[in-house]
Homo-oligomer: A and B are copies of this chain.
Amino acid sequence: MYRMGFDIGGTNIAAAAFGGSMDLAAHKTVPFPKGASYEEVAALLAELAEDLTKELGCGRELIEVIGVAVAGSVDPKGEVVIHAPNLGFRNAPLRQAVQEHFPGIPVYMENDAYAALLAEYHLGALKGCGTGILLTLGTGVGTGLVMGGSPFLGGMGRGTEAGHMVLDYQGGDCNCGRQGCLETLCSASWLIRAGQELVKKEEGGLLSEKTGGDPQQVTAKMVIDCAQAGDPIALDIFNSYVEQLGCAIVSLVNLLDPEKVVLGGGVSQAGDFLFAPLRKFVEENSFFHYAYPIVPAQAGTHAGTTGAALLFQDKQL
């Protein structure tokens, strides 16, 4: 029997099948079809499931349970995507739409950051933690909180949205409709935008060289790599990013005084080049001047699908 997890993000949709001890059996990633309706996305998940079962050489009858992680807020019952700015969904009854493609198989749905939290909490860096914070730094910024030793879905059950905490109340526009949200300053998208602007102005240094002057070629990894290679322009961007993310973490640790802060998502793969200056900034700037442990997520690239495949467990607690 397999547990299947889907992770619907603003850039990609990932699908994975896991064995009973959460060993990865098969996985596939496709680009998120921008502009698609939630029904179209549900149909795409069914296709992906088909691909995975084919690869596993089995039929649908071996799918035990399905979990769907979504880059947006989900209602407390796990039925409706309330607001997913990066996917273009609002009040979309996605769980039922997916269920219709999988008669007889239990389908669970939650926020993708919550799924990533479950993966870290059950199998990764937040195992055994009493109060912990997970930030996933991708297209947007997802959050997971462990409070009182358990994954916390928000007091009213709608999720925790640190990505939409205010970091610069008169700052730049966020997809959520507000200004200066943490996400506008701490996501991988900020690194890309900052790089693109300089390449556009033909002031991108090594970035201009690597992209042949085409701003659309800039990636977050490229900005980080150029910074690490010592390019002063990319380094300026990177240092600003460290300060912005540092302020975001200071905000969170000042409020919750957690045991641990865990960073996931693409940007976190920068390793100590990111973590070392970030730890220093937070120790120097937090209210308690404390060296909060800031560590990389362990569930890695499959965190979202792993957490999605673990949702059934969480819902049965």
Contact = CB atoms under 8 A, between A and B. Distances in A.
A257 to B, nearest CB: 3
A221 interface: no
Contacts of A250: 164, 166, 178
A251 B157 CA distance: 17
Given A147-B147, A155-B131, A247-B169, A254 B287 contact: no
A317 interface: no
Interface string A136-174: 000000010101100010111111111011111110000
Interface string A71-99: 00100000000110000000000000000
A243 B101 CA distance: 46
A289 B259 CA distance: 31
B244 A169 contact: yes
A162 B73 contact: no
B168 A165 contact: no
Contacts of A254: 161-162, 164-165
A273 interface: no
Contacts of A256: 154-155, 160
B161 A255 contact: yes
Contacts of A162: 254-255
A87 to B, nearest CB: 15
A49 interface: no
Contact of A257 (B155, B251, B285, B287): B155
A124 interface: no
Interface in A216-260: 243-244, 247-248, 250-252, 254-259
A176 interface: yes
A76 to B, nearest CB: 9
B154 A287 contact: no
A255 B257 contact: no
Contacts of A166: 167, 247-248, 250-251
Contact of A285 (B148, B161, B178, B251): B178
A300 interface: no
Contacts of A287: 73, 83, 161, 164, 176, 178
A27 B250 CA distance: 38
A130 interface: yes
Contacts of A244: 169
A154 B133 CA distance: 13
A54 to B, nearest CB: 39
A155 B83 contact: no
Contacts of A165: 165, 251-252, 254-255
Tell which of A148, A164, A285 has the most Cβ of chain B within 10 Å. Answer: A164
7 contacts: A83-B287, A131-B155, A132-B155, A165-B165, A165-B251, A178-B250, A178-B285
